[in-house]
Amino acid sequence: MIDVKLEEWDGDGYWNGGRWDKGKWKDGFWKDGTWVTGIWKNGTWEKGTWCDGIWESGEWKDGIWDDGVWKEGLWHKGEWESGLWKKGIWKDGLWNNGVWKQGDWEDGIWRDGVWEKGTWCDGIWESGEWKNGVWEEGIWGDGVWLDGFWENGIWKNGIWKNGTWLKGEWENGIWVNGRWESGIWKGGTWLDGHIESTKFNQLIKSCVSPDEFYEIEKRTTTLEELEKELIIEKIMKKISNEVSKDLEIYRL
């Protein structure tokens, strides 16, 4: 392995293997190697290991990011261990931990960390803290949602503290507060909030079984009409159960 100590790389040629200890990378093509620390101004990173430093702009194609500050740029794929992401576009890859300030997340797996704001287009969220932003599509596994807009997707578990839910499927978890526009509620605990449909104001609070689900959608029915609907539903269910029992006796 070649150890090179440069104060500056002006972009002439390409880097293929070896270790970069410190200095300023102005521009150029990084094919492979280990970046220990320094300032990356611009250029294309094909693969390798980034240990620490400041990334100002450029295109990251693949590799391992251990720690450091990402100011701006385009991330295609790779593995992010920890660090601070200020802004940019994330196409795909694995995020293990760190702080996301803002930017566009297109796809990938988020395992843990803090999301401050930005747009989540699609992907799998395993755990972590979501402070604010827009969630367009994807699967939420677990974690804490503080505020923001949920447009669509599947929520498996976690704590929802506040925000606006437009549509999607809620499987389990704790809803503390917020606004529910429409979607499917399968189970969990509802503490407080605003629901566009009054029909399920009581049902949603008592729904704890994953086998049950209610489709919550906008309605303009009055409370009196809804109460009558619920009474009729209970009567019809009772009649159905009695008929089923009579049929079983008859068959015996």
Residue 40, in any domain of the structure: yes
* Full-model pTM: 0.78
Q: Is the separation of the CB atoms in 59 and 44 below 8 Å?
A: yes
Evaluate whether 223 touches 203 at the Cβ level (below 8 Å): no
pLDDT, residue 196, reads: 73
- Single-letter amino acid, residue 139: I
pLDDT in tens, 19-71: 999 999 999 999 999 999 999 999 999 999 999 999 999 999 999 999 999 99
Residue 67 lies in a domain: yes
Q: Tokens 């002006």 map to which residue?
A: 10
Q: Are 128 and 146 in contact (CB under 8 A)?
A: no
Residue 28 covered by a domain: yes
pLDDT on residue 198: 44
pLDDT at 59: 98
Model pLDDT for residues 115-163, shown as the tens digit of each residue: 999 999 999 999 999 999 999 999 999 999 999 999 999 999 999 999 9
The answer to whether residue 237 is domain-embedded is no
Looking at residue 78, what is its pLDDT?
Answer: 98
The pLDDT score that the predictor gives to residue 195 is: 84
- Is 250 exposed, middle or buried (CB count within 10 Å of its CB: 0-12, 13-18, 19+)? exposed
| 123 contacts 107 by C-beta, under 8 angstroms | yes
Residues 6+ away with beta carbon under 8 Å from 78 = 60, 61, 62, 63, 64, 65, 93, 94
Counting the structural domains of the chain, the total is: 1
- Cα–Cα distance for residue pair 36/204, rounded to 1 Å: 53
Asked, for residue 31, whether it belongs to a domain, the answer is yes
Domain that includes residue 40, residue range: 1-91
Q: How confident is the model at residue 227 (pLDDT cuts 50, 70, 90)?
A: low
Of the candidates 42, 52, 20, the one whose C-alpha atom is nearest the C-alpha of residue 33 is: 20
In a domain? residue 119 = no
Indicate whether 116 belongs to any domain: no
Cβ burial 22-36 (10 Å sphere, 16+ → b, else e): ebebeebebeebbbb
- Neighbour tally for 44: CB within 10 Å: 15
